[in-house]
Amino acid sequence: MEQLKKWHVVYTKPKWEKKVDLNFAQKGIESWCPTQKKVRQWSDRKKVIEEPLFKSYVFVKATKEEYTNVLTTMGVVRFLYFEKKPAIIRDKEIELIRKYLGLSYTNIQVVDMGAIIPQTKVAVNNGLFMGQRGEVVKADKKSVYVRLDSINMMMIVEFKLEEVSVL
């Protein structure tokens, strides 16, 4: 049964990501809401908060038989679909995000891919993302925008231009 479980993406109510993750835990459903620390400025102080990396998305590891239980969890709106099928995230993509978030100097920005058209296919030659392939959406002197196909989102990761090669 464990072998049939795959990582999916659920769309949540706005600002419910951490609550949905907690609700899944209370139901015994494996899930993950990736967060990163951000400094927020209030008028009288600064505060470090844990902010969800993907707005309104939570990853959930489930079988097809568990879909109803997932969908009836408070705060869940629907599964995210990609090409008319529930979006499935490969285990190695989840592990890659977890590794990158574990680095002390990590700062990831996530941008919706909706209207952006991919351009050039590249391979990363060095660092944590070594061996990964993706499509460059935009590049400048220090940043390469790489698209993750399975969730139609991209992570903005800074690479030196010489760390990326065109395929």
**Domain residue limits, the chain:** 2-90, 109-166
* The CATH number of domain 109-166, selected from 2.30.30.30, 1.20.1560.10, 2.60.40.1730, 2.160.20.10: 2.30.30.30
pLDDT of residue 9 exceeding 80, the answer is: yes
Asked whether residue 164 carries a pLDDT value surpassing 50, the answer given is: yes
The Cα angle at residue 72 between residues 70 and 73, in degrees rounded to 5 = 70
Judge whether residue 116 has pLDDT over 50.
no
Mean pLDDT of the chain, nearest integer: 80
Report the alpha-carbon angle 138-141-146, nearest 5.
35
For residue 79, give the amino acid letter. F
Higher-confidence position of 36 and 77: 77
* Fold (topology level) of 2-90: Alpha-Beta Plaits (3.30.70)
Which residues does 88 contact at the CB level (< 8 Å), separation at least 6? 6, 7, 8, 150
In 3-state terms, what secondary structure has residue 144? strand
Residue 14 confidence class, pLDDT cut points 50, 70, 90: very high
pLDDT at 117: 41
Dist. CA 45–CA 48, nearest whole Å: 10
pLDDT band at residue 112 under the 50/70/90 scheme: low
One fold for 2-90 and 109-166: no
pLDDT in tens, 48-98: 888 998 889 999 999 989 999 999 999 999 999 888 888 889 898 898 888
Please tell me the predicted confidence (pLDDT) of residue 70: 96
pLDDT tens digits for range 117-162: 456 777 776 666 677 777 777 766 556 677 655 556 666 666 666 6
